[in-house]
Structure 1
Amino acid sequence: MSIVRDSFHSRIGFVLAAAGSAIGLGNIWGFPTQAANNGGGAFLFVYLIVTVLLALPALYAEVYIGNQAQKNPVSALGDACKGVSENLGRKVGLIGLCGAIMMLSFYTIVAGWMLAHALSSLAYLFDASEIASWLSTSSIQRNLMFTPIFILLGAGIIHQGVNAGIEKWSARLMPVLLIMLIGLIIYILNQPGAEEGLKVYLIPDFSQVTDPKLVISAMGQAFFSLSIGVGGMMVYGSYMQKGKDIGKLVLSITALDTVIAFLAGLLIIPALFVAQAAGQEVFQGGHLIGEGQLIFNILPELFNSMGHVGLFVSFAFFSLLSIAALTSTISSTEVPVSYLMEDKTFSRPKATWLVSAIVFCASMLLIIFFDHLFGLVIRVLTTILQPLSCLFYFIVVGWMWNRGNKLRDKALQEGRKWLTLWGNYIRFVCPLLLSIVFVNVAILN
C-alpha cells in the first residue's frame, strides 16, 4: 500500500518543530543541573565548544540523512548503507527507535512531575493545601496518575499529523516558552543573591575545563539537549522537501537550542544562590543536594518564601517546563510512529496509540522499579546509545553512503569548497573526536 507522506509546510515551521524537539527538559532541567555540578562557567565553556565541534555536525548528519532519503530513520539508514550493508543500517535505525522509546519512558515521568508541581501551585492559591501537598510530594501514586496524562497529550498532537499537529502546535508553544523563560529570568535576577550565581555561571575556572568527566558530561548533555541519536531529527528532516539549505536550518536549530540552554542556566543557577541567600542549604560537598531533583527540592522552597507572589512564579515556572517537555516528546514519539506507518503500513491513529501503549508500559516499569532503573536508563541513553548513534551517522555520511563521502562528492560536482571541507570534517575529525571521548569513558569506568 502506498503511503502519502505528510510534511512541514514552511521553513519556520520546521525550525520551530525541530527546535521544540531539541528545547526541552534537557535544556531547562538537565543543563542547569549539570552546569551547577560541574563548575558552572567551566561547564558552560566546554558545552559550547562540544556543541560546535561535535553536536552541530551530528545534528547536520542526522537531518541530512533523513532529508536525502525522505523516509523514516530505519529505512533511511538502510538506504544510506546499501553500498555496504542495508541490514546493518536498518538494525542501527531500530536501535535508535528503541532509544526513542527509552527517552520517552523517563521523559514522560519527569514531565508528569512538572505538571503536578504546576497544579500544586494553583491548589495552594485556592487554599487546597492537602491536594497541593500531595501534588508536590513524590509518590508512586502521583507518578501513576500524571505520566499517562502526558503520554496522552503527546499522542493527541501526533495523531493530528505533521502539519496539522506537530507544526501547528510547535508554532504556538515555542513563543510562549521563550516569553515565560525571559520573564522568569528578569524576576529572579532582581532577587538578593542572584549576582553571586551570575558570577559562578558566567566566569569559568579554566583549570577545570580539561577534566575528562566534565567533557563527557558536556558531550552527553549536548547530544541530549539537541535530541540527537534517537532518530527524531532524522524523521523531521525527512518531512522537509529536498533542495532546502540544510546547513542554515541546522544552524538555526542549534543556535536557538543553545540560547535556550544558556537562558535556562541564567534562570536556575542564580535562583539556587537566591535560595542559598534565603537560608536554604543548596550545595553539599561541592554538589547540589538532590542533583536531578534540585528544581523539586530547592526551588519550591524558594517560591514559598516569596509569599503569594511566589505561587504565581512557581506556576509559571513549572508550566514552562511542562511546555518544554511536551515539545520534546512529540519528536521522539514520531520516530516509531513513522516507522510503523511506512514499513508496517499502519494508519497514523493506530501507530500513534500502539506506540503510546508501549511507552506507557515502559514508563510504568520505571515507576515501579524507580531506584534501580531510572538513573540507569538515562545514563545508558545519554552517554552510550546517543553518542554511538552519532558516531554511526558520521561514518554513514563520510564513508558508507554509495561507498564514499556523499557530501564531498556533491561539493565537487557543484564547485562549493566549503562543503568539501565540511564533508572531510565529518568524515575524519568527528569520528576521531568521538572515539577519543569513548576511550576516556572506558578509562573512567
Structure 2
Amino acid sequence: MTRATWATRLGFVLAAVGSAVGLGNIWRFPWLTATNGGSAFLLLYVVVILLVGVPGLLGEMVIGRRSRRNPVGAFDALGGRRWRPLGGLALVASVVVLSFYSVVGGWILRYTVASATGAYFDAPQAYFAAIDFGPAAAGFHALFLLATVAVVYAGVDRGIEVATTVMVPGIVLLFTGLAVWVATLPGSAGGYAFYLSLDVAYLRTNFFEVLVAAAGQALFTLSVGAGAMLTYASYLDEDRSLVADGALIAGLNTAIGVLAGLVIFPLLYSLDVPPGAGGPGALFVGLAGAFADLPFSRLVGVVFFGVVLLAALSSAISIFEVLVAYLVDEHAFERPRATAGVGGLFLLTGTAAALSPTLFTLLADTVANLALTAGLLGFLLFAGWVLGAAALDEFRTGAGAVARLTARPWYYTVAVVLPLFLAFTFVSGLGTVLGVPLSAPQAAGVATVGVAGAIALLWHRAEPAV
C-alpha cells in the first residue's frame, strides 16, 4: 500500500498550524490567562514555547519523519517491539483529548447557529447551563465529529491539506479584522493593560503555579505528546527542513494565540465583563453574553464563533488522523474503513463526556495535561537515548547551515534539559491530582531522580550523539 504524502510544503505547514491553533488558543488560552495573572501567564507561556515547545516539537517530528509511520509503528520500527507501548500512550492521549475536545466543538457549533437568532443574548449563563451537557450536547458533538470524519475520509492531500489550507488563512484574516474592530471600542484599553502590562508582583508570588499552567498550555496548544505532529511529519519528504518548518509552525501558532487575546480581553473590558468569568465556560458565558450589547450583535457572534469552529475542526482533524494512521499502517485497513472505525470510537467516548460533567472535567483539566506531558517526555528520551546519532542525522536532513549549527545544542536539550523540565511538570501535576502537592524543590528532586534513572537504564543500549 502506497503511503500518503503532503502535496506541498505550505499544505503541511498550514495543516500543522491548524492542528496547533485550535481550541487551545481560543478556548483554553484566554481562560488560563485570565486565571493566572494575565500578562504574567503570557510571558511564561511565550518563554516555554520558545525553550520547550519548539525543541520538543522538533523531537516529535524527527521521530515521525525518520520512521514514516504512526506512533506505534514508529517506535517499533526505530527501537523494536519493546517500545510499542510508548506509541500506545500517544494513542491513549489522542483518545483522551478528542473525547472532550469534540464536546467543546459541539458547543461551538451550537453557538454559531444560535448567534444568528440571538438565542443566548438575554440569559447567557442559563443558556450555557442548559446546553453544556446532556443529550443535546451529545448530538452536537456527533455533528462536529461527522465534519471531522468527512475531511479525514478524503485523505491527507485531498482532505486534510485542502481543508486546512482554506481554514487557517481564514482564521487569521477574521481574527485580525476582529482585533482591529475591538480596538475602536470604548474601555478596551483596560484589556490591553491586563493582557500586556507585566504584573511583576503577581509573577513573583505565584511563579510556580503559573509556570506549571503555562507549560501544560504550551504542550496542549502545540499538539505535542499525543502523536499528532509525529504522524503529520511521517508524511514529509526528506528534502524538507524540519527546523524551518517547526519554527514556522510554533511561531504562527503563538502569534494566533496572542492575537486571540488581543480580541477577547479588550472586548471583555469594553463591556465590563470580568476576565475568566465562567471558568472553562468563559468563552460561552462572559464573552458570548457580551455580544448582546454590541452593534450588529448577531453578525459578530456568527463571525466570532465561525472562526472558533474552523480552529476547533482543524485541530480535531489532526488528533483523529493519529488513530486512522495507526489502523492503516499497522493493520492494513483501507482509509475509509479506518476512518469509520475511529469515528465510531469517538462517537462513544465523546458521548460519554457530553453526558457526564465529571468525566469531561477529569479529561479536560487533569488527564489531558498529564498524558501529553508524559507522552512528550517519553518521545524525547527515546529521541535522545535510543535514536541518538540517528536523531541528529534526521534533524540535519534537508536543513540549511543554521540547522546544522543548532543540531548538537538541540540534541542535548531534548536528551537532558527538556526531560528534566517535563518530569518536573508531570510530578507537580500528579502530586496535585493525588492530593499530595509538592513544593518546587521536592518536585525537582523527584523529577531529577526519575530522569537520571531512565537515562541510566537506556545508556547501555543507546547511541548517544557525543
TM-score between both structures, scaled by the size of structure 2: 0.86
Q: Deviations over 1:265-312 (max 9, x none)?
A: 111111221221xxx5x26xxxx33111011111222111124x1111
Preserved CA contact (<8 Å) 1:21 1:330: yes
Alignment of 1:241-252 (within 5 A): 241-252=237-248
CA spacing shift, 1:411–1:26, aligned 2, 3 Å:
closer
Alignment of 1:4-403 (within 5 A): 4-82=2-80, 86-87=81-82, 89-124=83-118, 137-138=130-131, 139-209=133-203, 211-276=207-272, 280=273, 282=274, 288-307=276-295, 309-370=296-357, 372-401=358-387
SS in 2 for 1:192: coil
Residue in 1 that maps onto 2:408: 420
Preserved CA contact (<8 Å) 2:25 2:221: yes
CA spacing shift, 1:317–1:409, aligned 2, 3 Å:
closer
Preserved CA contact (<8 Å) 1:119 1:135: no
**1: CA distance between counterparts of 2:310 and 2:396?**
44
Q: Structure 2: which 5+ runs fail to align?
A: 438-466
Residue in 1 that maps onto 2:454: none
For 1:213, the aligned partner's letter is E
CA spacing shift, 1:129–1:353, aligned 2, 3 Å:
farther
Residue in 1 that maps onto 2:450: none
**1: CA distance between counterparts of 2:243 and 2:344?**
36
**2: CA distance between counterparts of 1:95 and 1:342?**
17
Preserved CA contact (<8 Å) 2:152 2:317: yes
- What displacement does 1:406 show? 2.8
CA spacing shift, 1:53–1:243, aligned 2, 3 Å:
same
For 2:341, the aligned partner's letter is L
Q: Deviations over 1:95-143 (max 9, x none)?
A: 2112111111111110111111111111349x9999xx97994252321
- What displacement does 1:335 show? 0.5
**1: CA distance between counterparts of 2:234 and 2:147?**
24
**2: CA distance between counterparts of 1:353 and 1:67?**
26
Q: Does 1:406 align with 2:393?
A: no
Among all aligned residue pairs of Structure 1 and Structure 2, give the percentage whose two residues are the same amino acid. Answer: 31
**2: CA distance between counterparts of 1:17 and 1:412?**
23
Residue in 1 that maps onto 2:440: none
CA spacing shift, 1:334–1:411, aligned 2, 3 Å:
closer
Give the total of aligned pairs: 424
Preserved CA contact (<8 Å) 1:223 1:229: yes
For 1:178, the aligned partner's letter is V
**2: CA distance between counterparts of 1:348 and 1:410?**
28
CA spacing shift, 1:140–1:438, aligned 2, 3 Å:
closer
Q: Which of 186-195 and 354-363 deviates more? A: 186-195
CA spacing shift, 1:408–1:336, aligned 2, 3 Å:
closer
Q: Structure 1: which 5+ runs fail to align?
A: none
Q: Deviations over 1:244-284 (max 9, x none)?
A: 210000001000000000001111111221221xxx5x26x
**1: CA distance between counterparts of 2:51 and 2:201?**
21
SS in 2 for 1:123: coil
For 1:430, the aligned partner's letter is L
**1: CA distance between counterparts of 2:128 and 2:214?**
32
SS in 2 for 1:120: helix
